[in-house]
Amino acid sequence: MNTFAGLSLHRPQGPLIMGIVNVTPDSFSDGGEAFAFDDALARAYRMLEDGADIIDIGGESTRPGAAKVSLEEEIRRTVPVVERLARDGAVVSIDTRHADVMQAALDAGASILNDVSALSGPGSLVVASCSNAAIVLMHMQGEPGTMQHNPTYVDAPGEVLVYLKSRVAACEAVGIARERIALDPGIGFGKTAAHNLQILKRLDLYRDLGLPLLLGVSRKSFIGQVTGEADSQHRLPGSLAAALWAVEQGAAIVRVHDVAETAQALKVWAAIKSA
């Protein structure tokens, strides 16, 4: 594949950068920082200036134990931000697992559906198939509220691969072209630190599907477990190390909180690669 959501996947500066804007009061790393409309826009515009190619807007925290959010509230949080950014020409992704929110965001100008449940929720495949949106299918074992209660695998990388293959097949069965799909193995979603490290080590498995790979490792708890850093906002070095490893293994998109720092790291990586 050469493009995703109209963006080139073959660039001298390396992979696409997806900047995270959580319009929530309770996300694991930045909850509350962009909850207000003006704060969310300010963060998004700063990320675009810093080198983000995509802005990913989420209105429901998927951290373990997060409070449930009504569909109406999720739409209220996200759609005005999506609409303003899309109007200003940004490529906007909606981070949701709910079909009604997907449709509202698409109507507001979103061009990517980023779903932690890989379009397995009621109505999600229908919404996606009736749109022209690009799609991110993510693996998650269990539900956000309980996913970290003893996640179990015999072969984490292999089982994630089988699941993602099945979701790609489900998309194709309703007429969604492979050219619209990217895959995310779901680091931190229903996985222990050991599972996350095993999956990262075997990212080559997912290249065989011939679809762009998106990696979201920014500030994740496994970095804290490896390094002993309890504060998620102090995990930038570990986040960059994991992102650069993923890029070296073929990741086409990195989803991050720290856009400027990631963009600089990728520029250096790309310069070394092409020297």
Whether residue 68 lies in the annotated active site: no
Cα separation, 90 vs 111, whole angstroms: 10
Backbone φ, ψ for residue 77 (5° rounding) = -70, -40
Give the helix/strand (H/E) hosting 41.
Answer: helix 37-50
Cα separation, 191 vs 194, whole angstroms: 8
Whether residue 255 lies in the annotated active site: yes
Residue 133 to residues 18, 24, 44, 91, 199, Cα–Cα distance (Å)? 16, 24, 20, 11, 27
Burial of 231 (0-12, 13-18, 19+ CB in 10 A): exposed
Cβ atoms of residues 112 and 133 within 8 Å: yes
What are the E-state strand segments in the chain?
Answer: 3-4, 7-8, 16-22, 54-58, 92-95, 112-115, 134-138, 181-184, 214-215, 253-256
Q: Which of 43, 167, 220, 235 is catalytic?
A: 220
Active site residues: 220, 255
